[in-house]
Amino acid sequence: MSKFNFWNTEIMYLKKVGPKRADLLLKEAKIRTFGDLLHYFPRKYIDRSRIYRVRELTGDLPYATLVGKVGNLKLVKGKFGPARLTADFTDGTGILELIWFKGADWVRENLKEGQEISIFGSPKFFGHRVQMAHPEIDAKDEKDSVNNLKIVPFYPGTEKLNKAGLDSRGIRTLLAALLEQGQSDLFDNLSPTLIRENQLMSRAEALVNIHFPKDFLTLEQATRRLKFEEFFFFQLMLAERKAVTQPARKSFPFETVGHYFNTFYTEHLPFELTNAQKRVLKEVRRDLGRPFQMNRLVQGDVGCGKTMVAFMTCLIARDNGYQSAIMAPTEILAEQHFSSFKKYAGPLGLRVAYLVGGQKKSERKQYLDGLKNGTFDIAVGTHALIVDSVEFKNLGLSIVDEQHKFGVMQRQALWDKGKMGPVTLDDGTEIMVRHYPHNMVMTATPIPRTLGMTVYGDLDVSVIDELPPGRSPILTAVRAEPQRLEVFGFIRKEIEKGRQVYVVYPLIEESDKLDYLAATEGFESLCRTFPRPQYQVGMVHGRMPPEEKEAEMARFKKGEIHILVSTTVIEVGVDVPNASIMVIENAEKFGLSQLHQLRGRVGRGAHQAYCILMVGNKQSEDARVRLGAMVKTQDGFKIAEIDLKLRGPGDFLGTRQSGLPEFRLANIVEDGGVLNQARAAAFKFREEGNMDDPENQLMKAYFQHYLAEQGGTGGVA
Ligand code: ADP
Ligand code: MG
């Protein structure tokens, strides 16, 4: 394809490169082609338009550029560590000490005493001395027009590249030649319409300015344009995949919102819905009205009120004559939903069935019959809902709570309980085809919006980003061993007030046994501090049979246990409004999302709730950030965002195989704004645009090329 000849030309054929340097560029910087070099972006820029004098430096300046001379290069033997190199930098107004802890050889070879240079870095004050470690250095050379810039880009070089003359200066020289030679080849890969609608800079201008910025404003626009482009094609690929792998499945359109929904809304709703709940219900209603299966994830922090949204969605199903099913991962949760649903549905004259393992035969039979003949309207249960013996008269809606606890197959198993429905063909004949129940999945694991959009490629996402009013924040504090007695005293007071307490021990993955020991020791020590019969201390851990675990949880729920000790097996979503304290032992060992989830177990009632993070005496820097974030905020999305920044998308999603491509310039964590815009544009284009329009020909060619390149990255979930 001729359009790509320039882009695909081997870098070897660029002036001043040749086979040897080409080899090095490939090995050290993954630059194989002209295109790769154009996309080898600077990692930072030095602003030479504002030159500071040494005398002007203050401790507040994050970065500064200075022009002057170096002298007095010295290799100083380290007392403990390796040697470091120091030099004095002067500009006639004072002395700045330059220092290198590594790469001294290269600096010594390339830095000539007395030569005028620009340096860039962050000045640090030590008493009266001012120091700059590992400054960026650029020798001044008036004759070298390529490198005589106001804003100087620096590239992520390596020592080998530096040695071969391919330091930032060398790369700049290559780029200048390439940009000059390729002027007519920098075609735009976005259509004029997209460029106009999204107010983007042209690609040619962006590529020139990312490497040789005219000024900082232009640089910003160039950066935005190139990030947009990266996200756009990625999102277009997702849109494409969604359309191909998730063809709209037939479903029954729920056209009316009628008697049951309206009666409940006007007469029985126990509280005013939050705006977020209302918005999500609206989004759901829009989906349900279509003759295609809804596939919507409802995401919202613990306690935001997902259950009510689920229930009201069931009412819409009922208003259209359909049954609903809601599946929860554990019996405790199912039980909890069953009792709320019964409470809400009773006054409406609707009947709720309950299906879990180990039920009495007669009880189960009554529910099974009722679902089959339609006398029951809603089914609540665990995996027991998806076994073969369960049949529905007309299941129109399936809801899965805490979806991350289920596998994809389990999530979809309820769909098999849907039924056939009529479809009219173009020629007017009617045939019967499989119809799928509408599908809602709910999760309390907050995934930052930006990431959610990408990882849930096949789901539409609704977010309940608001808690019901009147919740007072959970007071969170970090405490260490010396304060343990105080903590116990505090617990005692809360128990006297009638409250209950969780104490959680970390799960150390390599050693189930150690966890168990730590928790058991904790349990025993708590039993001594809080003796029977005045206090009841209970315990759940991963080695217990599920029935025992649930029985113990149930005792806690009923208030028969004051303090519940556990490893991290406390069930998600369990609602014990009377529990007011969450103590997390060795809190530094927990991940941020996990800490947040655990804290969400308390603060569900009318009482002031507390989260006490007990820490050992050693903490990593990351642990400190995590604990700090917990103390500072309770917003699950903010926490998720911090967590994502700490861990990166791969780890955050629990797998390196997150299916995210490596972005060259864009950053999925930090560039949410551009990502949103690019995603909207890509999905809009997929729906309304036409790749075969003349104005889209170059974009089409580029996209095909992009898809071929991405082919190896595997599927996005
Ligand atoms: P989650 O989203 O974690 O599943 P729940 O649905 O269990 O949260 O709701 C938590 C608590 O908040 C429940 O006791 C519920 O009755 C209550 N609740 C839900 N929505 C509202 C609201 N709009 N106003 C007041 N309380 C609400
Ligand atoms: Mg819930």
Please name which ligand lies nearest the alpha carbon of 273.
Answer: 1
Measured in whole angstroms, the distance separating CA 636 from the mean position of its chain's CA atoms is 11
**Taking CA 383 as the corner, what is the angle to CA 379 and CA 386, rounded to the nearest 5 degrees?**
65
* In contact, 440 and 398? CB cutoff 8 Å: yes
656 pLDDT above the threshold of 50: no
pLDDT score for 177: 93
**Taking CA 277 as the corner, what is the angle to CA 275 and CA 281, rounded to the nearest 5 degrees?**
115
Ligand 1 centroid to Cα of residue 470, in Å, is: 12
Question: Ligand 1: does its nearest atom lie under 6 Å from the Cβ of 274?
Answer: yes
Condensed to tens digits (0 to 9), the pLDDT of residues 449-472 reads: 667 666 665 678 898 988 888 777
Ligand 1 centroid to Cα of residue 307, in Å, is: 7
Per the model's pLDDT, the better-predicted residue between 682 and 432 turns out to be 682
Question: Ligand 1: does its nearest atom lie under 6 Å from the Cβ of 222?
Answer: no
655 pLDDT above the threshold of 50: no
Condensed to tens digits (0 to 9), the pLDDT of residues 332-362 reads: 789 889 999 999 999 999 999 999 988 899 9
Q: Alpha-carbon distance 175 to 576, whole Å?
A: 64
Choosing from 304, 307, 578 the residue with most ligand 1 atoms within 8 A of its CB, the one to mutate for a pocket test is 307
Query: What pLDDT band is residue 408 in, cutting at 50, 70 and 90?
Result: low
714 pLDDT above the threshold of 60: no
CA-nearest residue, atom 24 of ligand 1: 468
**Taking CA 582 as the corner, what is the angle to CA 577 and CA 583, rounded to the nearest 5 degrees?**
160
* In contact, 446 and 299? CB cutoff 8 Å: yes
3 state DSSP class of 389: coil
Atom in ligand 1 nearest the alpha carbon of residue 577: 14
106 pLDDT above the threshold of 80: no
Alpha-carbon distances, residue 403 vs 223, 277, 313, 653 (angstroms): 38, 19, 17, 15
pLDDT score for 159: 84
Atom in ligand 1 nearest the alpha carbon of residue 340: 16
Residue indicated by tokens 């259509």: 191
Q: Which CATH number fits domain 49-148: 2.40.50.140, 3.10.105.10, 2.40.440.10, 3.30.70.1230?
A: 2.40.50.140
Tell me how far apart the 2 most distant CA atoms of the chain are, in Å. 96
Condensed to tens digits (0 to 9), the pLDDT of residues 282-327 reads: 999 999 999 999 989 999 887 889 999 999 999 999 999 999 999 9
pLDDT score for 488: 96
CATH number of 259-464: 3.40.50.300
Q: Alpha-carbon distance 196 to 570, whole Å?
A: 53
- Give exposure, 435-457, as e/b (b: 16+ Cβ within 10 Å): bbbbbbbbbbbbbbbbbbbbbbb
Intra-chain end-to-end CA distance of the chain, in Å: 32
pLDDT score for 332: 79
Please name which ligand lies nearest the alpha carbon of 276.
Answer: 1
pLDDT score for 708: 84
pLDDT score for 87: 92
Measured in whole angstroms, the distance separating CA 79 from the mean position of its chain's CA atoms is 44
Domain 259-464 matches domain 475-633 at the CATH topology level: yes
Q: If residue 374 lies in a helix (H) or strand (E), which one and from where to where?
A: none
* In contact, 504 and 529? CB cutoff 8 Å: no
Query: What pLDDT band is residue 275 in, cutting at 50, 70 and 90?
Result: very high
CA-nearest residue, atom 25 of ligand 1: 468
Atom in ligand 1 nearest the alpha carbon of residue 274: 23
Per the model's pLDDT, the better-predicted residue between 47 and 21 turns out to be 21
pLDDT score for 711: 63
Whether residue 533 is preceded by a cis peptide bond, meaning omega within 30 degrees of 0, is yes
Ligand 2 centroid to Cα of residue 359, in Å, is: 23
Report the pLDDT averaged over residues 408-434.
Answer: 81
Between 23-32, 564-573, 671-680, the lowest mean confidence (pLDDT) is in 564-573
Among 463, 459, 445, 441, CA closest to 326 = 441
* In contact, 261 and 312? CB cutoff 8 Å: yes
The class level of CATH for 475-633 reads: alpha beta
Report the pLDDT averaged over residues 59-81.
Answer: 83
pLDDT score for 513: 63
Condensed to tens digits (0 to 9), the pLDDT of residues 357-406 reads: 888 999 999 999 999 999 999 999 999 999 888 999 999 999 999 776 67
pLDDT score for 559: 93
581 pLDDT above the threshold of 50: yes
Please name which ligand lies nearest the alpha carbon of 305.
Answer: 1
Ligand 2 centroid to Cα of residue 477, in Å, is: 26
Among 223, 181, 183, CA closest to 39 = 223
In degrees rounded to 5, what are phi and psi of residue 44?
-160, 170
Q: Alpha-carbon distance 306 to 352, whole Å?
A: 18
Contacts of 495 (CB under 8 A, 6+ apart): 501, 530, 535, 562, 563
Give percent of the chain with pLDDT exceeding 70.
91
pLDDT score for 457: 59
Ligand 1 centroid to Cα of residue 681, in Å, is: 35
Question: Ligand 1: does its nearest atom lie under 6 Å from the Cβ of 468?
Answer: yes
pLDDT score for 62: 80
Per the model's pLDDT, the better-predicted residue between 682 and 240 turns out to be 682
Between 30-39, 544-553, 621-630, the lowest mean confidence (pLDDT) is in 544-553
CA-nearest residue, atom 20 of ligand 1: 305
Ligand 1 centroid to Cα of residue 463, in Å, is: 15
Question: Ligand 1: does its nearest atom lie under 6 Å from the Cβ of 522?
Answer: no
3 state DSSP class of 152: strand
Question: Ligand 1: does its nearest atom lie under 6 Å from the Cβ of 575?
Answer: yes
Please name which ligand lies nearest the alpha carbon of 464.
Answer: 1
* In contact, 322 and 487? CB cutoff 8 Å: no
181 pLDDT above the threshold of 60: yes
pLDDT score for 175: 95
**Token couple for 79:** 């007392």
pLDDT score for 717: 30
Q: Alpha-carbon distance 71 to 518, whole Å?
A: 60
Residue 328, classified by CB atoms within 10 Å of its CB into exposed (0-12), middle (13-18) or buried (19+), is: buried
Ligand 2 centroid to Cα of residue 573, in Å, is: 5
- 310 sits in the region (left: phi over 0; alpha: psi -120 to 50; else beta) called alpha
pLDDT score for 515: 62
Q: Alpha-carbon distance 644 to 696, whole Å?
A: 36
Per the model's pLDDT, the better-predicted residue between 717 and 63 turns out to be 63
Between 12-26, 62-76, 408-422, the lowest mean confidence (pLDDT) is in 408-422
CA-nearest residue, atom 11 of ligand 1: 303
pLDDT score for 404: 67
Please name which ligand lies nearest the alpha carbon of 307.
Answer: 1
Q: Alpha-carbon distance 549 to 120, whole Å?
A: 61
List the chain domain ranges.
Answer: 49-148, 259-464, 475-633
Question: Ligand 1: does its nearest atom lie under 6 Å from the Cβ of 336?
Answer: no
Question: Ligand 1: does its nearest atom lie under 6 Å from the Cβ of 467?
Answer: no
